[in-house]
Structure 1
Amino acid sequence: MPSPRWGTWPETGTQWAGLTWSAAQTIKSAEVYFFDDGGEVRVPASWKLQYWNGCAYADVPGASGYGIVADTYNAVTFTAVSTTRLRVVLQSGQGSVGLLEVRAYG
C-alpha cells in the first residue's frame, strides 16, 4: 500500500505544498500534520501559510502562531481570506520536511 506521506527529501531549504479550489473559499484556520522519520525527514524549523490574493501569494493576516510538533495537527487561526489557493511554506531544519496532511477550514 502506498504511503500517503509527502516529503521533500533529499531537498532542504524552502519548500511548499498547496491546496487549490475551482471556486473561491473563505478560509480562517488550518491544521498541518508533520511527520518525522528520525532520519532524513524531520519537522520543519518553521512554516507559514500563504493565500493567493488574485495576483500573488501573500502571508495570511493575523496568524495565531505556527507549531512544529510531529505526529499531531498543528493548528493556526488567522483573519479570514477568500482565495482559490492556499499553500504551506516550509523551511527545513535538521533534514528534509515531512508532511502528512493539510486541512483548511472556513
Structure 2
Amino acid sequence: LPLAAERGMAVIVNRPFRQGALTRQLEGETLPDWAAEIGAGTWAQFILKFILSHPSVTVAIPATTSVEHVRENLLAATGPLPDAAMRDQMAAYVRDL
C-alpha cells in the first residue's frame, strides 16, 4: 500500500471477505462496543470500514450475490470512517481474538 500511494496508483481490494471465510471466522465473536463510534454494527461493516478508511485504498469489491449483504455492505460507506489510530485498534482487536 505505501508503494501504491507513493506512485499514485489505484488500489482495488477484491473479495475482502475471502468468499465469506473471514466473516465466518469472526462469527460468534463479539463486535467491540467502540465499533459503534464509526457506525459499524456488523463484522462485515467493521471490515469494510477498516479497508475503505486506508488512504491508499481506492475501492473495495465485496462480491456478494445476496441483496441482504449488499444492503449491509452499503452501510459501511455511511457515517465516519476510522482514522489511523482506530485502524490500529481494530487490527489489534481482531488479532487478539
TM-score in terms of structure 1 length: 0.25
Please identify which structure carries the higher helix content. Answer: 2
Calculate the TM-score normalised by the size of structure 2.
0.26
Highest relative contact order (Cα 8 Å, sep 6+), 1 or 2? Answer: 1
